[in-house]
A and B are shown apart, each in its own frame.
Chain A
Amino acid sequence: MLQERIPDFSKFVEPDRVRKEVYTDAGVFEREMERIHETLWIYCGHESQVPKAGDYYAVQLGRQPMLMVRGPEGKVHVLYNRCPHRGNMMCGDRHGNTGEFFRCSYHAWTFHHDGRLRNIPMMESGYQGTRYGRDNPECSMKRAARVESYRGFVFASLAKDGPTLKEFLGASLVAFDDMCDRAPEGEVEIVPNCFRIIQHSNWKIFLENQLDALHPSVTHQSTGRAAHEVEKMIEKKTGKAPLSYHMLSAFATVTIDKWDNFQTINHPQGHCILTGYMGLRPKDPDTLKYEKTLIKAYGQKRMEEILGVNIHHVLIYPGLSVQSPLQQLRAVRPLGVDRTLTEIWHFRLKGAPEAIYRRSLAYYNLVNSPATVVNADDLENFWKCHQGLSSDGGDWVSFARHFGRDIEKDGVVESGPGMGTSEAPMRNQMKAWARYMGNGK
């Protein structure tokens, strides 16, 4: 295994390039699961997915099958989906309601929603004089070491020590603030549907793509052109095409050089904010009505601030891509070194007019559904990337675009002005990766 061959992971990463094994080696993947996905704060889900006591959702954190469950006192718990008796998985469904307690399907041990043992059939006669019983914590379902939530978004860390959720998220908190502030009631709620799509590639290939401003006009040219044709046709007929056409045609009309107008702001944890205004303030009646509800809730000045936030999306390391202006996010669940599941959710702005929900829904369906006309071509490239990297045709992946021109201040790295296509985010992610994989936190 590679771990023995090159034990020093920092050797895999140079400032402007990384070794291909970072993406393809099974030993590297195992260590990533341990050091990154089972250590850092990982997104579990939104509190509104489990509104009632006993509601649960299964979620995979690293290699660990977990349950996010709502307790009777309203608290959300995250537990290992495993019975402490003989190891049976507790819930076999992806989601549901467990009732007043968990009951194992094998021998009927029961547990409270926070994982504490409730009862064992004939406990007195069966366990008297043994080390097992109500007082032994090993008879309870194991809980995630740490669980915290921010504005309804629940995260868990499987490591006892480390920064708090807020410390870890740092500047990327803006993803949740931006999403929730856009709601007149200051909150979002889940749209109860999760699109799940499997990518045949390493999880980091997806992360890098999320911040890759060079690729849209190349990868998505065909969709951009087709949407632009139809957009023009609709405009000719009715004067105005729906906003979703504009979002798709941008792949063709925003030529490759213009993507340099974007900017990335990269943080030491590996997070990245991609700025670039999404153009969501057309002067149509729906938007004006929405602005009015925001003014009523927050006042004119604050409304301008909220709608003026200049974010395309935020990548929270190591696996959450949040598109806050359109209220959607994609959570990355690595399944293996060359298989990655993405779970894609959409949120409703509480108190906003229906038309605003429909607008982001149209984007969710077009871009993120399993029949997407956009990500289909990304997934094709991800597969090809993984195939190419698995070969001996070369040892390195290059991240040298605009290298040396980044602007660094207090550990925060910004792509230079007019250099939005800089590979700064990839360089930054890999720097963080090497740190996590080594001994440092």
Chain B
Amino acid sequence: MKTQHEVEQFLYRQAELLDSKQWQAWIDLFTDDGVYWMPPEPSHRTWEGMPAIFAEDKNLMRVRMGRVLHPDAWSQRPLWGTNHVVSNVVIVKSSTNEVQVRSRFHMMELRRDDVRHYAGAYTHRLKKTRGGYRIKLQRVDMTNAQAAYDYVLQVWV
């Protein structure tokens, strides 16, 4: 029960940091070897050697962050924001130093006057550390992963 509560709170915080554009704090949620991965189809078991919508270690996350914070990131200039709702949190596996969690999310994105909706599943591998949980892997399976993207994804979902 305690783990369930802690894990839920952690996932909510992860989403909140994205929605409030606290990019560095969000990156800090990852372990040093942490990976953010969005496969283009659900059957993929690894990002290594595979096409991936995202497959980012912390260094690539820093590139993306540096880009969106630059004043000349043109596609970032328009009014833009997101709103996540995370739910259906299920602990799949738990050991002394790691928890594996599945959850579902809905995300609404505003860009200029347009609203887009995304939904999908998160799979998190969370490492237990003294300072709380850290993300070893955040896998994001978009429901529309294989559909054509009407415009691109700007940051992590």
Listed in ascending order, the chain A residues whose CB lies under 8 Å from chain B are: 191, 193, 195-198, 200, 219, 221-223, 225-227, 229-230, 233-234, 245, 248, 341, 346, 354, 357-358, 361, 364-366, 369-373, 375-377, 379-381
Contact = CB atoms under 8 A, between A and B. Distances in A.
A346 B153 CA distance: 20
Interface of B: 38, 40-41, 49-55, 59-60, 62-68, 70-77, 147-154
B41 A198 contact: no
Contact of A371 (B65, B71, B153): B153
B49, B52, B148, B149: most-surrounded residue (chain A CB, <10 A):
B148
A225 B53 CA distance: 22
Contacts, number: 107
Given A219-B74, A370-B53, A196 B148 contact: yes
Given A225-B66, A365-B53, 16 more contacts: A191-B51, A195-B149, A196-B147, A196-B148, A197-B151, A198-B149, A222-B67, A222-B72, A223-B73, A248-B63, A341-B148, A361-B51, A369-B40, A370-B153, A376-B154, A377-B75
A234 B59 CA distance: 8
B51, B54, B65, B66: most-surrounded residue (chain A CB, <10 A):
B51
A333 to B, nearest CB: 10
B53 A369 contact: yes
B112 to A, nearest CB: 10
A371 to B, nearest CB: 4
Contacts of B51: 191, 193, 195, 346, 361, 364-365, 369
Contacts of B40: 193, 195, 369
23 contacts: A193-B50, A195-B51, A195-B53, A198-B150, A198-B151, A222-B73, A226-B62, A226-B66, A226-B67, A226-B70, A227-B63, A227-B66, A229-B66, A230-B62, A346-B51, A358-B49, A361-B51, A365-B51, A369-B40, A369-B54, A370-B152, A371-B152, A379-B75
Contacts of B75: 376-377, 379-380
Contact of A221 (B64, B70, B151): B70
Nearest to B154: A376
Given A221-B72, A346-B51, A197 B149 contact: yes
Contacts of A234: 59
Contact of B63 (A219, A223, A376): A223
A157 B41 CA distance: 32
B55 A365 contact: yes
